[in-house]
Amino acid sequence: MRTKKRLSKKEIAALTKEYERRIKKDDREEVLYSLSKKYRRSTRQIERYIEKAKKERETKEKLSEPQVVTIRSEDTYLKAAHYEDIRQAIKLWIENQRRASPEELSGLWKGKLSAWGVEVESLPGTERRALLTMSSHALYESLGAHLMPPVVKEDFWGTVSKISTIALMLVDNSVKCFAQIAADATNQTGLPINADEWKNAPATGLTSAFTKTVFDQSMQIHSFTNWTYHAWAVLWPASGGLIITWVNEGTRLLRRMGYDPGVSLTTCYLTMVQPLLLPRSSTERVVYGNVDLHSPGSVGFLLCFGNEEIALLAAPEQIAGCQQVHGTMMQKYSSWDKAARLRQAWAKLDTLSNKLSAELQRAQYSLSFPGHCPLCP
């Protein structure tokens, strides 16, 4: 079927055109067979001619199409860079929007909080304030100009304001509730809350942990399941240092009877580390610093609740009464309505913060931002 004469481009174009016209109504194999006879080529060669002609035609059509050329001006580049800076600021805002940890909630009574995207301070003698954490960011003014619909919802900045208001209320009322619990503890025990520095000098009274554990119980911040009370004697020798031993030996020393000769105590010498390690049993005595065991000194009695030191007492007879007051207050404040309202407030903050974070995450992926800020090119 082959001949020495090659088909010209014109002939290939003609057979391709004829093939496309006839294939619309005739069987493909019949068309190929007919063209094979006409041009004295095999059907496979005819197919290759047609395929090659179609590719050449498609290439010509593409080359003839108008080309789109994008010309970017300097302003376009500057605007793209500015929008990227906005996205990075939004990313930081999302990170600052985290909820308060249990430790931070437990410390609300101190009058300070940094969580839910706000910095709150409510201390006696200072101005009460709640500032958006991002307000100190260099692009905060730009965020205020660009974070608007359709990038965020209409109530976006209203939600920001609500978070600040509720957070300030939460801190302010936590301080007041803690003070009320502290006053109740002082009234019931007859002891002041002034013994936080007992490790450094002789002291008697309640520690802030007495009030703090009751506060945490009322707020349901920590679980005190299986926590028990235990007591130890504390000695502040005139020679310096600190000794923690069992209550019976402390009673003897309080009565100037010396160390208990009937009990063999293992003495463990340690440096002044924080937190202090208490004796592991009634047969162990812990000594901190360079101490003369026979040096005279002051004696007190340490009441602990779990791993919290809650009171330093002057006599062993005070231990049971102080423990009873603490236990009663733990039960009393478990169902305190004021604490319930505080729990509702931080639950509301979680809800609003999650809503705000979701909007910020959507805004972070915006290709452009509405509005105009002082830094816009």
pLDDT at position 17 is: 87
pLDDT at 2: 47
What pLDDT is recorded for position 350?
95
Instruction: List Cβ neighbours of 270 (8 Å cut-off, separation of 6 or more).
Output: 277, 286, 287, 288
DSSP type of residue 149? T
| Peptide bond preceding 275 in cis form (omega within 30 of 0) | yes
Q: What is the DSSP string of 318-341?
A: HHHHHHHHHHHHHHHGGG-HHHHH
Q: What is the pLDDT of residue 1?
A: 42
pLDDT of residue 175: 93
Distances in Å between the Cα of 14 and the Cα atoms of 8, 32, 48, 50, 218 are 10, 14, 14, 10, 93
28-81 pLDDT, tens digit each: 888 888 888 888 888 888 888 888 888 888 888 777 766 554 545 677 889 999
- The three-point CA angle 141-147-152 to 5° equals 160
- What pLDDT is stored for residue 300 in this prediction? 94
Kindly give the confidence (pLDDT) of every residue in the chain, 377 residues in length, as a single tens digit, with 9 standing for 90 and above.
444 478 888 888 888 888 888 888 888 888 888 888 888 888 888 888 888 888 888 888 777 766 554 545 677 889 999 999 999 999 999 999 999 999 999 999 999 999 999 999 988 777 788 999 999 999 999 999 999 999 999 999 999 999 999 999 999 999 999 999 999 999 999 999 999 999 888 999 999 999 999 999 999 998 898 899 999 999 998 878 888 988 988 888 888 777 666 566 677 766 666 667 788 777 788 888 877 777 778 999 999 999 899 999 999 999 999 999 999 999 999 999 999 999 999 999 999 999 999 999 999 999 999 999 999 98
Q: Who contacts 303 (Cβ-Cβ below 8 Å, separation ≥6)?
A: 229, 231, 309, 310, 311, 312, 313, 319, 322, 323, 326
Contact by Cβ (8 Å): 223, 241: no
Tokens found for residue 360: 């910020």
Q: What confidence tens digit (pLDDT) does each residue in 247-294 have?
A: 988 888 888 777 666 566 677 766 666 667 788 777 788 888 877 777
Domain residue limits, the chain: 9-64, 74-177+339-364, 191-336
- What is the Cα–Cα distance from 267 to 285, expressed in whole angstroms? 5
DSSP 110: G
Could you tell me the pTM of the whole model?
Answer: 0.72
Report the b/e string of 94-110 with b at 16+ CB within 10 A: bebbeebeeebbbbbbb
Q: Are 245 and 233 in contact (CB under 8 A)?
A: yes
Residue 9 burial (CB < 10 Å; 0-12/13-18/19+)? exposed
> Quick check: 271 and 288 in contact, CB under 8 A?
yes
